A and B are shown apart, each in its own frame.
Chain A
Amino acid sequence: MNKPRTFSTGGIHLDENKLSGLQLVTFVDLPREVTMLMNQHAGNPARPVVEKGDHVKRGDVIANADGLVSAYIHSPISGEVTSVGMVKDAYGKPCEGITIKSDPIDYNIDIEEVHEREAVRTNDDIASLTPDEIVSIVKEAGIVGLGGATFPTHVKLSPPPGFKPEILIINGAECEPYLTNDHALMLAHPDEIIEGTRLLRRATHVPRAVIAIESNKPDAIRLLWGKTAGLDDITVMPLKTKYPQGCEKQLIEAVTGRQVPSGSLPVATGAIVQNVATAYAVHRAVRYDEPLMKRIITVTGDSVRFPGNYHCSIGRSLRSIIEQAGGLPDDTAKVILGGPMMGRTVENLDAPSTKGVSCILILDDKQARRREAEPCIRCGACVNACPMGLEPFLISTLARKGRMEDAAHEKIMNCIECGSCNYACPAARPLLDYIRLGKIGIKAVSKDKKKKLIKWKGH
């Protein structure tokens, strides 16, 4: 193995806290009821194509992609559509959703199918697929980036004209503490990930793919290293354990040595990044014609009884997933979707899980509270932590004082919101809060008079 590579600017070292690291993937039975949210991907919300009372089969399309940047949504269970309308998402915001109640007869068939689905394409079939066919299968399967950004994969696979991708990077860095879902997936399905990687590589016309894994997962590196030993198109690259190694721009720099120019798309460096879970989903879609209906979710936290990686259907309520891990602990104070650095706090546990949920992290009261902010002592910890080479103390203050033009001049829009500055600040200042505020403000100004109304059907 070579020396682990990494990105050049900033970064922080976090306590890994990978509590569920040694756990294998636990399969969770199909839910009796699911709610599929229409905005569970980046871009336009999907448009429902079913109505109340309709009967759907597992894998049926229940909502169509609306526009170019959007994704199809499929039903993960067979049953009857019980409602189409507004539901609350995990953050308490209203959002259109389709609720499906399972059918007792179909339920057993579904369960069998979940465990053993027949391959619809043979090796020869797959070898003869053209890149465009692969992209369209990915699109039909409703696959989105499963690292958390949920950007529709088929859009990312067809870069805008003028860009020529040269390398595909499969992101297995998983730099956030606590998260182990990608790690577990790599250990459980290495061959499938490699096949998915190859399909993605072919779809994007690039000669070479790299599976990048942080060095805190030596077993996954060794396993995939062995499996790719004879391949000349896919290599495994160990990366240094440093946050935010898994952020797209940092990952591209670590792997290729090229920095994404400020203000342009990552593909400008010739690299396309996809998550390992996305690669696995692509494999499922191509070989089994199975749309994206389930994913691995890490349920973890210091007081969770059975922290682990749970393979469950999308659309299941968060509460029922937490129950698989032994239920909500009594001292729960904060529930986070995603990792502790970039995840968002949940206020509605009855909300359904979505395609982008990689982790449910449960913190107790002591961990959940923020420390009181003290005056800035100008120590420079934030400046040294910032992976984008920004000066968080400065742009945060400018944004707080409403000096948006100055903040924009200091490249506030380059911020990737990784939270490193906020983490590193010894005075516990809410740096990122105000930086995000500034970014929202600048975006609103650039949209100018276009009224930013709450997303609502009909508007």
Chain B
Amino acid sequence: MSVIVTSVIIVGAIGIMAAIVLYVVSTKFHVDENPAIEAIESLLPGANCGGCGCNGCHDFAVKCATASSLDGLNCPGAGEEAMRQIASITGLDAGDSTQCVAVVKCNGSCDIRKTNAQYDGEQSCAIKASLGAAGDACPFGCLGCGDCVSSCKWGALSMNPVTGLPEVDNVRCTGCGACVKACPRHLIELRPKGPRGMRVWVACSNKDRGAEARKECPVACIGCGKCSRICPHGAISVEHNLAYIDPASCRLCLKCVDSCPTSAIHSVNFPIKKKTDE
């Protein structure tokens, strides 16, 4: 009996002592944090994707709480609604933000792309890119190892096993830009999501001359300039044998999509019938 009593007393005493020490330490070293930071952080996704340009979500919350204006501070992951709430917490106006999504500027799926050599080694785009063209005839195209997929914290990218190209999930993509940095070929661009997700872009990055590009990939942009001539809004420019559609001027008329001789211009989320084509 006495053994039990003694052990209870000893353990209890140790517990009380530890509690006192913990209490003293926690009060002595207590740091008062701006409650706004915690409130803002609870609105953020907590993925630490770095899309806002800060080192993680906490850093972003601190910046929002201490900033004098929210301009340039935008969490692409949280979305506009959350940014409005952050604005109301801080009592500032919400910064201007356009919802962007990633688009892949390569179109050369496995069945049509031409290859010169066979790659043997680690499945990493960055390693492949360091070897030169890495086996593909087109030295600009997608390497297909999914560095972008593994960089995406939102699960918005996936490799399509049939085409061998990454695909972007419109709903999940927050436009954080991690994949843009991950792609060694710089194939991913952030473009405005567009009304109802409708957007048009040139799905090619080949800068070779037309004949060469055509030889390398049947769906390459050959820089013929047909699209830029047909575009009624002057949104398309051709530079280094590669067309580029400026999202700011594009009115989604889809004329270019039809005019492209190699089908290098892609459009998504348009109604099946070309109602917008007027």
Q: Do chains A and B touch in the complex (CB under 8 A)?
A: yes
Cβ of A453 and Cβ of B240 under 8 Å apart? no
1/0 per position for A77-117, CB-CB distance to B under 8 A?
Answer: 00000000110111111100000000000000000000000
B210 CB → nearest A CB, Å: 12
Tell me which residues across on chain B come within 8 A of A458, comparing CB atoms.
240
Q: A454 on the interface (CB 8 Å rule)?
A: yes
Cβ of B120 and Cβ of A368 under 8 Å apart? yes
Q: How many residues of A contact B (CB 8 A)?
A: 27
Most A-side CB within 10 Å, residue of B122, B134, B212: B122
**Contact pick for B133, options A347, A433, A456, CB 8 Å:** A347
Cβ of B240 and Cβ of A92 under 8 Å apart? no
Contacts A91-B131, A92-B139, A345-B131 given; does A440 touch B126 at CB 8 Å: yes
Q: B116 on the interface (CB 8 Å rule)?
A: yes
B33 CB → nearest A CB, Å: 26
Q: A436 on the interface (CB 8 Å rule)?
A: yes
Q: A447 on the interface (CB 8 Å rule)?
A: no
**Contact pick for A437, options B124, B134, B137, CB 8 Å:** B124
Cβ of B122 and Cβ of A433 under 8 Å apart? yes
Q: How far is the CA of A370 from the CA of B121 in the complex (A)?
A: 7
A210 CB → nearest B CB, Å: 34
B141 CB → nearest A CB, Å: 11
Cβ of B130 and Cβ of A440 under 8 Å apart? yes
**Contact pick for B240, options A90, A434, A437, A456, CB 8 Å:** A456
**Contact pick for B134, options A90, A92, A433, A436, CB 8 Å:** A92
Q: A348 on the interface (CB 8 Å rule)?
A: yes
Mark out the residues of chain B between 75 and 106 whose CB falls within 8 Å of any chain A CB in the assembled complex: none
**Contact pick for B127, options A369, A437, A456, CB 8 Å:** A437
Q: How far is the CA of A370 from the CA of B186 in the complex (A)?
A: 28
**Contact pick for B207, options A85, A94, A369, A440, CB 8 Å:** A94
Q: How far is the CA of A368 from the CA of B118 in the complex (A)?
A: 11
Q: B41 on the interface (CB 8 Å rule)?
A: no
Q: How far is the CA of A93 from the CA of B208 in the complex (A)?
A: 10
1/0 per position for A113-144, CB-CB distance to B under 8 A?
Answer: 00000000000000000000000000000000
A373 to chain B: closest residue by CB: B122
Q: How far is the CA of A347 from the CA of B138 in the complex (A)?
A: 12
Q: How far is the CA of A86 from the CA of B215 in the complex (A)?
A: 15
Cβ of B133 and Cβ of A91 under 8 Å apart? yes
Cβ of A433 and Cβ of B124 under 8 Å apart? yes
Q: A430 on the interface (CB 8 Å rule)?
A: yes
Mark out the residues of chain A between 348 and 373 whose CB falls within 8 Å of any chain B CB in the assembled complex: 348, 368-370
**Contact pick for B121, options A88, A90, A93, A430, CB 8 Å:** A430
B124 to chain A: closest residue by CB: A437
Contacts A430-B121, A433-B121 given; does A347 touch B116 at CB 8 Å: yes
Cβ of A93 and Cβ of B132 under 8 Å apart? yes
1/0 per position for B212-225, CB-CB distance to A under 8 A?
Answer: 10000000000000
Q: B135 on the interface (CB 8 Å rule)?
A: yes
Cβ of B120 and Cβ of A370 under 8 Å apart? yes
Cβ of A91 and Cβ of B132 under 8 Å apart? yes
Cβ of A92 and Cβ of B207 under 8 Å apart? no
Q: B63 on the interface (CB 8 Å rule)?
A: no
Most A-side CB within 10 Å, residue of B116, B120, B132, B209: B132
A445 CB → nearest B CB, Å: 10
Cβ of B122 and Cβ of A89 under 8 Å apart? no
B81 CB → nearest A CB, Å: 30
Contacts A348-B116, A453-B186 given; does A93 touch B133 at CB 8 Å: yes
Q: How far is the CA of A434 from the CA of B207 in the complex (A)?
A: 29
Q: B244 on the interface (CB 8 Å rule)?
A: no
Q: B117 on the interface (CB 8 Å rule)?
A: yes
Q: A205 on the interface (CB 8 Å rule)?
A: no
Q: A344 on the interface (CB 8 Å rule)?
A: yes
Dominant secondary structure at the B interface: loop
Tell me which residues across on chain B come within 8 A of A90, comparing CB atoms.
132
Q: B140 on the interface (CB 8 Å rule)?
A: yes
A3 CB → nearest B CB, Å: 40
B108 CB → nearest A CB, Å: 14
Tell me which residues across on chain B come within 8 A of A433, comparing CB atoms.
121-122, 124, 127
Contacts A92-B116, A430-B121 given; does A344 touch B131 at CB 8 Å: yes
Most A-side CB within 10 Å, residue of B117, B135, B209, B212: B117
1/0 per position for A423-451, CB-CB distance to B under 8 A?
Answer: 00000001001101100110000000000
Tell me which residues across on chain A come within 8 A of B139, comparing CB atoms.
88, 92-94
Most A-side CB within 10 Å, residue of B121, B139, B212: B139
A348 to chain B: closest residue by CB: B116
Cβ of B212 and Cβ of A454 under 8 Å apart? no
Tell me which residues across on chain B come within 8 A of A430, comparing CB atoms.
121-122
B186 CB → nearest A CB, Å: 7
Tell me which residues across on chain A come within 8 A of B185, comparing CB atoms.
454
Cβ of A369 and Cβ of B132 under 8 Å apart? no
A341 CB → nearest B CB, Å: 16
Q: How far is the CA of A434 from the CA of B123 in the complex (A)?
A: 11
1/0 per position for A206-233, CB-CB distance to B under 8 A?
Answer: 0000000000000000000000000000
Q: How far is the CA of A90 from the CA of B131 in the complex (A)?
A: 10
**Contact pick for B208, options A86, A348, A368, A440, CB 8 Å:** A86
B241 to chain A: closest residue by CB: A86
Q: How far is the CA of A87 from the CA of B209 in the complex (A)?
A: 10
Tell me which residues across on chain A come within 8 A of B140, comparing CB atoms.
454
B207 to chain A: closest residue by CB: A456
Cβ of B130 and Cβ of A347 under 8 Å apart? no
Cβ of A369 and Cβ of B131 under 8 Å apart? no
Cβ of B132 and Cβ of A89 under 8 Å apart? yes
Q: How far is the CA of A456 from the CA of B122 in the complex (A)?
A: 28
Q: How far is the CA of A363 from the CA of B99 in the complex (A)?
A: 52
Q: How far is the CA of A90 from the CA of B133 in the complex (A)?
A: 9
Query: What are 18 A-B pairs at a CB distance below 8 A?
Result: A86-B208, A86-B212, A90-B132, A92-B134, A93-B132, A94-B208, A344-B132, A345-B117, A347-B116, A347-B133, A348-B116, A348-B133, A433-B127, A434-B127, A437-B124, A440-B130, A454-B140, A456-B207
**11 more A-B contacts (CB under 8 A) besides A370-B121, A454-B207?**
A88-B139, A91-B131, A92-B116, A92-B133, A93-B133, A93-B139, A344-B131, A430-B122, A433-B124, A434-B124, A437-B127
Instruction: Mark A residues whose CB is within 8 Å of B.
Output: 85-86, 88-94, 344-345, 347-348, 368-370, 430, 433-434, 436-437, 440-441, 453-454, 456, 458
Instruction: Mark B residues whose CB is within 8 Å of A.
Output: 116-117, 120-122, 124, 126-127, 130-137, 139-140, 185-186, 207-209, 212, 240
Task: Return the 4 tightest CB-CB contacts between A and B, nearest first.
Answer: A91-B132, A92-B133, A347-B117, A347-B116
